[in-house]
């Protein structure tokens, strides 16, 4: 059975969360409220790349899915994460694989 793009995105968001938890990269405390007011892409001036995944990407994408709102038409975050994640970060390779699959939903025109 083929999954819809929305189902694929939901599954990949869950996988991202699982990878972050598996490698103890998931945080229980959110960044300071000021960190969420950044106007920079990926909040690079106020959040670590992994914080952005946990506190911005995952909740916002899930909110779109829950509200049955349209998903972004174009999306590619892997190039940023290839540069932003330390080469020796535990789980880096696994996380990049899932992010690649998420990007593919959008770049292949399926979203």
For residue range 15-62, what is the model confidence (pLDDT) as tens digits?
999 999 999 999 999 999 999 999 998 999 999 999 999 999 999 999
> How far is Cα 66 from Cα 29, in angstroms, rounded to an integer?
23
Q: Give tens-digit pLDDT for 66-102.
A: 999 999 888 899 999 999 999 999 999 999 999 999 9
Rounded Cα distance, 16 and 4, in Å: 18
List the chain domain ranges: 5-107
Q: In Å, what is the CA distance from 95 to each residue of 35, 49, 98? A: 23, 12, 5
Q: Which CATH number fits domain 5-107: 1.20.1440.40, 1.10.630.10, 3.40.720.10, 3.30.1340.10?
A: 1.20.1440.40
């Amino acid at each position: 059975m083929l999954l819809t793009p929305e189902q694929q995105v939901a599954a990949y968001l869950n996988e991202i969360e699982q990878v972050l938890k598996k490698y103890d990269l998931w945080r229980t405390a959110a960044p300071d409220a000021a960190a969420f007011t950044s106007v920079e892409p990926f909040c690079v001036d106020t959040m670590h790349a992994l914080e952005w995944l946990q506190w911005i990407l995952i909740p916002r994408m899930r909110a779109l899915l829950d509200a049955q709102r349209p998903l972004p038409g174009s999306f590619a975050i892997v190039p940023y994460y290839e540069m932003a994640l330390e080469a020796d970060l535990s789980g880096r390779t696994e996380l990049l694989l899932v992010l690649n699959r998420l990007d593919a939903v959008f770049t292949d025109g399926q979203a």
